[in-house]
Amino acid sequence: MKKKHDYIVSDGNLVLNLSVAEEGGYVVTSPFDPELLTEAETLEEAFENARDVADALRQARAKLSRQLLAASKNG
């Protein structure tokens, strides 16, 4: 059985967990945001993809927050 390799990396802004994928590349997650999940072939791509996912999550959460606030004011 092959040993699974996991790495924790940071660029000073993001902290990522990289798990070596069986099919190659990495599965990318964050210890600080359980919803952040992406894949990458390289370390550089891991940070790029993670930034994109983190931005999309921020936008979605802000939109949900606005919708919940509006619903609470109307309810």
Q: Letter for the amino acid at 32?
A: F
Longest Cα–Cα distance of the chain, Å, equals: 58
Residue pLDDT, tens place only, 5-18: 899 999 999 999 99
Residue pLDDT, tens place only, 34-46: 999 999 999 999 9
Residue pLDDT, tens place only, 27-73: 999 999 999 999 999 999 999 999 999 999 999 999 999 999 998 98
Tokens of 64: 């949900």
